[in-house]
């Protein structure tokens, strides 16, 4: 889970212009995608035995990386 520094910034530090809000939204989406990619790549490194121990399979990787996985 990613916590953006601007979430806790004083109101004066938050972007007020349309461009600033769009830039912040794009930066947030890029950070989320990088985190998804990092997690997914780590899951791809697991071998069959490790996946069995964790009770997951390759079909679960997408939902795990997105943070929506439930058993």
DSSP assignment of the chain: ----GGGGS-GGGS--SHHHHHHHHHHHHHHHHHHHHHHHHHHHT--HHHHHHHT--GGGHHHHHHT----
Predicted confidence (pLDDT) at residue 1 exceeds the cutoff of 60: no
Q: What is the pTM of this model?
A: 0.71
What would the mean pLDDT of 30-58 be, rounded to a whole number?
97
Q: What is the pLDDT of residue 11?
A: 61
pLDDT tens column, 14-39: 778 999 999 999 999 999 999 999 99
Q: What is the pLDDT of residue 8?
A: 63
Residue 21's contacts (CB-CB under 8 Å, 6 or more residues apart) are 15
At 3, is the pLDDT very low, low, confident or very high (cuts 50, 70, 90)? low
């Amino acid at each position: 889970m990613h916590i953006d520094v601007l979430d806790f910034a004083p109101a004066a530090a938050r972007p007020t212009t349309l461009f600033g809000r769009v830039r912040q939204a794009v930066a947030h989406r890029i950070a989320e995608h990088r985190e998804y990619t990092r997690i997914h790549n780590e899951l791809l490194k697991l071998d069959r035995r490790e996946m069995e121990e964790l009770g997951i399979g390759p079909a679960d990787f997408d939902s795990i990386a997105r943070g929506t996985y439930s058993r």
